[in-house]
Amino acid sequence: MIQSNILLLFFLFMIACTPKPDVSFNGIEVEQNLVITNSNENEYVYFRFPNNFIVVDSLINKELNKISRKINYSNILNIEDSSSTNKIKSFFVNNNQHPYILHKISLSDTLNQVIYKIDSSRINLLKQNFFYPKIVNQKENDSLDKFNYIKTNQLLFPCPNIDIPQSLNLLPNAPRKYRSGTHQGIDFAGYYGSEVRNVYNGVVIRSDHHYNEVSNEFRNNLLNKASKINRTPSDIFVNILYGRTVMIDHGFDIIKDKRIISIYAHLSKINPEIKVGEYISRGAIIGNVGNSGTSDGAKGNKKSAHLHFELIIQDKDGERYLGKNIYGEELVKLLNRIFSHK
């Protein structure tokens, strides 16, 4: 009995002496100080994250956001002739993109020393800028259309409850190597068959009720032709790659001196009431999300469904798509400003 009691006491003693993390939140072990305050900016925070962990409005998420607001990522990533820029670029290129992989960060570190990601969405957005062309000529930059004439919340989001995507690859100006061209619209990742609605009052000028899907063999043959001339010909783009499409002419109602056209592509179905020449009000259901015009659409499955949406602006200076030559955070801010869910 005495021996067993001694063993029990020894066992309890070993448990008591085992080092423990200060706090545990949702399976995250906080190895040192969790709380970061303005009065003690030299404190470090160490987290050990499970591979499948996702931050959802936790205390840790709030603490990380506190730090992120103190850091100007744009300045960091645009530093010239700096070794830290190369370190950051190398870190991003190596695909270290798991949300909130925070190895070590001190609020007293200078911007040049911050090489680890804290705010996943903002940094991922800025990271993508390294792979897109930028305007360097100031005169050319000053002449760019900034689309400030489109009012805040003037357009309705075409897919209910789906916001502007955070990936630049789904936004205007993204390269499309498979067709040797440039993405001119916004890809809203709606579910196959979910509703698509009109963004503003207008008149229907295209409605592909009798659309027939082409084969992938035919589609690939056209894409090979595009690669030979290093661009996407308009006939291939508009007539084949759009798939089942509706186009709305908003006339000069959105901006008095500019004609605006909205395009809704890759639809699976079109509302039977959407006919060429008919007036259509803001919010009216146009059709349903699909994948027509894509390789998956040609295969007859429901994969890769999304709405490809474009807004075309026409005036005396020519024709351009919404967001042309605007990149990164500026582009996302523009799109979030002009669209509304109401």
Q: What is the pLDDT of residue 237?
A: 85
Q: What is the pLDDT of residue 33?
A: 32
The three-point CA angle 36-37-42 to 5° equals 70
- C-alpha 209/C-alpha 154 separation (Å) is 28
Instruction: Name the domain boundary from 81, 109, 131.
Output: 131
Q: What is the pLDDT of residue 94?
A: 43
Shared domain for 220 and 156, answered yes or no, is yes
- Look up the pTM and report it: 0.63
Shared domain for 92 and 161, answered yes or no, is no
- C-alpha 266/C-alpha 15 separation (Å) is 61
Instruction: Name the domain boundary from 78, 101, 131.
Output: 131
Shared domain for 9 and 34, answered yes or no, is yes
Q: What is the pLDDT of residue 3?
A: 54
Shared domain for 244 and 161, answered yes or no, is yes
Q: What is the pLDDT of residue 165?
A: 86
The pLDDT profile of the chain, 342 residues, written as one tens digit per residue, is 555 545 444 444 443 444 443 333 333 343 333 332 223 333 333 334 444 444 333 444 455 455 555 545 444 444 443 444 444 444 444 444 333 333 333 333 333 333 333 444 444 554 454 444 444 444 444 457 889 999 999 999 999 999 998 777 889 988 887 787 788 999 998 899 999 999 999 999 999 999 999 999 999 999 888 888 888 888 888 899 999 999 999 999 999 999 999 999 999 999 999 999 999 999 999 999 999 999 999 999 999 899 999 999 999 989 999 999 888 888 889 999 999 998
Shared domain for 163 and 297, answered yes or no, is yes
Shared domain for 85 and 180, answered yes or no, is no
Shared domain for 101 and 176, answered yes or no, is no
Shared domain for 262 and 178, answered yes or no, is yes
Q: What is the pLDDT of residue 206?
A: 98
- C-alpha 150/C-alpha 47 separation (Å) is 44
Q: What is the CATH number of the domain that holds 216?
A: 2.70.70.10
Q: What is the pLDDT of residue 170?
A: 86
- C-alpha 321/C-alpha 261 separation (Å) is 9
Contact between 25 and 60 (Cβ < 8 Å): yes
Q: What is the pLDDT of residue 168?
A: 79
Q: Which domain holds residue 123?
A: 2-131
Shared domain for 88 and 174, answered yes or no, is no
Q: Which residues sit opposite 48 in a β-bridge?
A: 29
**Which pair of tokens denotes residue 252?**
């000069």
- How many domains is the chain partitioned into structurally? 2
Instruction: Name the domain boundary from 98, 131, 164.
Output: 131
Shared domain for 118 and 175, answered yes or no, is no
Contacts of 236 (CB under 8 A, 6+ apart): 179, 222, 223, 225, 226
Shared domain for 121 and 186, answered yes or no, is no
Shared domain for 275 and 301, answered yes or no, is yes
